[in-house]
Structure 1
Amino acid sequence: MIDIKQALGIAIGSIRSAKLRSTLTTLGIVIGVAAVVANVSLGTSFNQYFTDELGSLGSNFIIIYSQDVNILYDEQLEVVRNTPGIVGASPFNQQTAAVSYFSATRQIDVQGVGEDAQDISNFVLEEGNFLTDKDKFVAVLGKEVAEEKFDQDISTKNSIDITFRRDDGSTVTRKFRVKGILEGEDNTFVQGGPDRDVSIYIPIATMNELLEVDDYGGFSAKTATAESVREVSDEVDKRLARNLGVPARDLDNDDAKPYRIFNQADILEQLDSLSSSLTILITVIALVALVVGSIGIMNIMLVTVTERTKEIGLFKALGFTRSDVLTLFMLESAVVGIIGGIFGTLLGMVGSFAVESYLDIPRIFPSYLILLGFIISFVVGLIAGVYPASRAASLDPVEALRHE
């Protein structure tokens, strides 16, 4: 039986004797492996990015939205707060109001919230302090509102006038002292409701008093741990449904409930599903490149068999068995695949890092991708060499030696 080291030397010698042809042959493998490796790496990075971004919008959060007016009141807020596992809850209302500073007036989203909103939504103050439930006519501004919306920058202790429109069409204007300014945020793919950079936050009790309403647009809540968020969310859903008279049989029917509820885990699951679908789609496209690459290897190996027919006959005349010739050509094909895998993995690594840097997402390159690149290229090369190697091994030595 042929020595593997000897066979490897012959295979490498054959590849080196036709450098240009071997290079072109491996190109398909390089592109295919690079695409697979880069795509899987980017998929992992995007998953981490979505998780980080979602975490920046809130910690272990649950959001309940009213689907109609006069649905959610203090009674329902207490139901949420008293649910085991809830460590904070805030009601909210919102309206686009006319905000005036000096002589300029802008239409800006104003949200009424409770003091727990800071912890639930991970609000970070660049200047001043957040609202408390004891505050009345004070406001916290998004960074863009404070620095870009008006002709002059707004700082803490400045005052702004906010004009609200009530349901009956009348308007009410009040002066609010700026208590705090939020840190700015980068533009993200994940947004949790209105953009906080262009929003103003005021005490919910003050907003409802001015609007002459006592119901809420919804609640935001926080669970003690990320692991419990889905379980606690389900319990909140059951308790609210029972409190609002929703039959137990309709608990899973969103259209039958006067509110909608979702949580951090639900959003992460949807993002993971979206990311996985995109990863699968692009990976399938990358696999097409691998198929093209394997066909290229097969073609070149068939040409090699034809060119080396006389050499094959000489091998057999010297005592090489059918198995030896088969091993020799399959090994040569596998080496071509592995060479393509090495360069493809390196190209995929560089490509993924370049894209991650450009998009400013986490640089994550799982170590198993290096092994994956080698395995894919080796298997593709091996499979592509089966038929040409089998054809070479089946040649009659006498006829092969006569071949011109």
Structure 2
Amino acid sequence: MLKLRQAIGISLGSIKSSKLRSGLTTLGIVIGIAAVVANISLGESFNVFFEEEISAQGSNFIIIYSQEPNLFYSNELQIIEKTPGISGVSPIKQQLGEVTYFSQKKNIDIAGVTGDYEDTANIVMESGSFISDQDTFSAAIGSEIANEKFDRSISARSSIDVTLRLEGGRTVTRTFKVKGVVESLNASFTGGGIDRDVTIFVPVSTINQMLEEDDFSAFFAMSDSLEDVEEVSDEVDERLARNFGVSSRDLDDEDAKPYSIFNQADVLEQINQLSDTLRNFLVAVALISLLVGSIGIMNIMLVTVTERTREIGIMKALGFSSTDILVLFIVESIILSLFGGLLGLIVGIGGAYAVTTALDLPFLYPHYIFEAGILVAVIVGVSAGVYPANKAAKLTPVDALRYE
């Protein structure tokens, strides 16, 4: 009976005798395993990156947008504020304005908010402070506006003129004292919130006063925790729907409601679905490389069986059984696959690290990658080696020794 140690020794000797062929044989496995490992690792890295960017837009946020003009007023604000689980809410009123600084004019988004917006949207100040509910003609400006938009940098305590256009073509201009500069997020997307880098924040009461209006365009709210954000969002949705006369049976019909509502959990779920779909597609492509690699191993093992036909005959003449021959060739196939799998793990993790470093992403890899990589390599080795090994095991000593 051939011992496993002997089978490994004989297999290693056969592999060493044909180094180039063995190396080319494992190349398909290396590429396949490396591609799978790199894609899984990059998928995890992108998921964490997106989650961090979305979380930076606000803590457990719930965003309610009006789909009709003159829809949200103080009554709707109070409904949201009184909803259990809401820890903060800021009304929002957005308008494109003309901003003048040292005679230079630029069109910039003006957002009217309350002091709660600082907490609900995770606002961090680069300098100075954010606006408060006691302010009137004060402003907090985005980092890009402060440092890049105008020829001269704008700092805290600077003054800017904001001109808004009213209905009928009239305009109104007011001077605002810059209270602080909002720190840049360097975010790829805003997740449905306001792009703070290119926005000027002013008190919502002031922008309404300038526009001679008293409505709001949206609400940016915050639940007590991320775990409860969906439940709290549903409760806000139900209360607002009742307020606007939408029946409970039409609650899930977005067209039946004059507003739209979504929360942080919704955005994260959509991002994860997109990320998972892309990752699964890339892994499927990588698995094709594994299939090609396994076929390559099978072909080489078939060639090996042919080349070693006389050797097989001698081994059988010396008393080695068909099972011994079967085990010998399967072990050789597994060794080739394991070597390719281990090298593929190293290449895949190294490639993922290089990509995440270049893109400034968090480098992550699930620990199950190692076990999965080795397991896949073994499965490929066994699958690719069974047929050639079975063919070798069925050779009779006489036919094998006569083979030229």
- Please indicate, yes or no, whether the TM-score normalized by the shorter chain is above 0.5: yes
Q: Give the 3 Å change call, closer, same or farther, for CA 26–390 of structure 1 in structure 2.
A: same
Task: Give the equivalent residue in structure 2 for 1:29.
Answer: 29
Residue ranges of structure 2 left out of the alignment (5+ in a row): none
The amino acid of 1:111's aligned partner reads A
Equivalent position SS for 1:64 = strand
Matches within 5 A, 1:62-73: 62-73=62-73
The amino acid of 2:354's aligned partner reads A
* Pairwise CA distance, 1:172: 0.5
* Pairwise CA distance, 1:184: 1.8
Structure 2: distance between partners of 1:200 and 1:42 = 36
Task: Give the equivalent residue in structure 2 for 1:11.
Answer: 11
Structure 1: distance between partners of 2:63 and 2:194 = 13
Structure 2: distance between partners of 1:200 and 1:381 = 62
Indicate conservation of the 8 Å contact 1:93/1:113, yes or no: yes
Matches within 5 A, 1:334-373: 334-373=334-373
Q: Deviations over 1:227-284 (max 9, x none)?
A: 0000000010000000111111110011110000000000000000000000100000
Structure 2: distance between partners of 1:222 and 1:177 = 28
Task: Give the equivalent residue in structure 2 for 1:242.
Answer: 242
Task: Give the equivalent residue in structure 2 for 1:380.
Answer: 380
Indicate conservation of the 8 Å contact 2:114/2:204, yes or no: yes
* Pairwise CA distance, 1:168: 2.8
Indicate conservation of the 8 Å contact 1:111/1:202, yes or no: yes
Structure 1: distance between partners of 2:339 and 2:57 = 45
The amino acid of 2:44's aligned partner reads T
The amino acid of 1:398's aligned partner reads V
Q: Deviations over 1:198-252 (max 9, x none)?
A: 1100000000111111111010100111100000000100000001111111100
Task: Give the equivalent residue in structure 2 for 1:77.
Answer: 77
Structure 1: distance between partners of 2:167 and 2:118 = 28
Structure 1: distance between partners of 2:282 and 2:147 = 42
Task: Give the equivalent residue in structure 1 for 2:38.
Answer: 38
Residue 144 of structure 2 is aligned to residue 149 of structure 1: no
Structure 1: distance between partners of 2:35 and 2:383 = 20
Structure 1: distance between partners of 2:189 and 2:205 = 32
Residue 120 of structure 2 is aligned to residue 120 of structure 1: yes
Structure 2: distance between partners of 1:106 and 1:283 = 47
* Pairwise CA distance, 1:169: 2.2
Q: Give the 3 Å change call, closer, same or farther, for CA 189–77 of structure 1 in structure 2.
A: closer
Indicate conservation of the 8 Å contact 1:50/1:190, yes or no: no
Structure 1: distance between partners of 2:187 and 2:202 = 24
Q: Deviations over 1:32-76 (max 9, x none)?
A: 000000100111111111111111111100000000111111101
Indicate conservation of the 8 Å contact 2:53/2:187, yes or no: no
Task: Give the equivalent residue in structure 2 for 1:323.
Answer: 323
Task: Give the equivalent residue in structure 2 for 1:193.
Answer: 193
Matches within 5 A, 1:172-183: 172-183=172-183
Structure 2: distance between partners of 1:346 and 1:151 = 50
Equivalent position SS for 1:361 = coil
The amino acid of 2:234's aligned partner reads D
Task: Give the equivalent residue in structure 2 for 1:268.
Answer: 268
Indicate conservation of the 8 Å contact 2:113/2:202, yes or no: yes
Indicate conservation of the 8 Å contact 2:93/2:113, yes or no: yes
Structure 1: distance between partners of 2:96 and 2:307 = 78
Q: What count of residue pairs does the alignment treat as equivalent?
A: 404
Structure 1: distance between partners of 2:97 and 2:202 = 12
Structure 1: distance between partners of 2:203 and 2:374 = 59
Structure 1: distance between partners of 2:169 and 2:382 = 76
Cα RMSD after superposing both structures: 0.9
Structure 1: distance between partners of 2:169 and 2:114 = 26
Identity of aligned residues (%): 54
The amino acid of 1:350's aligned partner reads G
* Pairwise CA distance, 1:193: 3.3
Using the size of structure 1 for normalisation, the TM-score is: 0.99
Structure 1: distance between partners of 2:188 and 2:48 = 13
Equivalent position SS for 1:148 = helix
* Pairwise CA distance, 1:344: 0.3
The amino acid of 1:240's aligned partner reads L
Structure 1: distance between partners of 2:169 and 2:252 = 37
Q: Give the 3 Å change call, closer, same or farther, for CA 281–136 of structure 1 in structure 2.
A: same
* Pairwise CA distance, 1:187: 3.9
Structure 2: distance between partners of 1:167 and 1:401 = 100
Structure 2: distance between partners of 1:64 and 1:260 = 6
* Pairwise CA distance, 1:185: 2.3
Structure 2: distance between partners of 1:190 and 1:382 = 49
The amino acid of 1:360's aligned partner reads D
Using the size of structure 2 for normalisation, the TM-score is: 0.99
The amino acid of 2:295's aligned partner reads I
Equivalent position SS for 1:112 = strand
